[in-house]
Amino acid sequence: ILNVEQSPQSLHVQEGDSTNFTCSFPSSNFYALHWYRWETAKSPEALFVMTLNGDEKKKGRISATLNTKEGYSYLYIKGSQPEDSATYLCAFLHNYGQNFVFGPGTRLSVLP
Amino acid sequence: GEEVAQTPKHLVRGEGQKAKLYCAPIKGHSYVFWYQQVLKNEFKFLISFQNENVFDETGMPKERFSAKCLPNSPCSLEIQATKLEDSAVYFCASSQGTSGTNEQFFGPGTRLTVL
């Protein structure tokens, strides 16, 4: 059974703070890692698709890094805004199927 | 369409009844995925399709659950003889290519309540 973990489970930050959280996944048979942003009652929205060790991707104030050898990815948010409040999900894809394993998510609340 | 569409939005069934959920992927996307999200737990992969062919069904319960993606029709997920523990939000997602390099676009979900 593949295990994908995310930490912390939840996070409260003040507007303007920068923050980061972690996704841990199996380091063997890696194929891809996806990050999604999910607001309650809405559909998850793709942030990043990461495939190469050492990848670093950026979208506005959000960026992500990938270390496939040690099995982790970091998501960074610079200068958090209240609209960043959401659950951030990572999903791991191994190299022998199309069977995504999602982490439990990190719930971020940005206080104005 | 430009969005993944799922119907119905809500579905209520008595225990033992059949439930059928539909998903229309984004036009041009050849991969479809179904996920089950129970309460606030993580998304559980059920099954994926490449066009009308099952691509990976390792997450599908062996009994009672079935899914299809037929040409020129919405994809469907059917649960025979629903049980209380089937209550969940069922999300469908589609992608243009394999998920190694292609993001998935999610639908709004169907909330199934089994009473």
Q: Please, which pLDDT band fits residue B2 given cuts at 50, 70 and 90?
A: confident
- Residue A92: what pLDDT? 93
A–B CB contacts, 8 A cutoff, strictly below: 64
pLDDT in tens, A39-81: 988 899 999 999 999 999 999 999 999 999 999 999 999 999 9
pLDDT at B1: 61
Beta strands in A1-112 (DSSP E): 5-7, 10-14, 19-24, 30-38, 45-50, 56-59, 62-67, 72-77, 86-94, 101-102, 106-111
Give the mean model confidence (pLDDT) for residues A99-104.
89
User: What mean pLDDT comes out for the span A3-9?
Assistant: 94
Cβ-defined contact of A99 to B48 (cutoff 8 Å): yes
Mutation for testing the B interface, residue in A6, A23, A43, A96 having most B CBs under 10 Å: A43
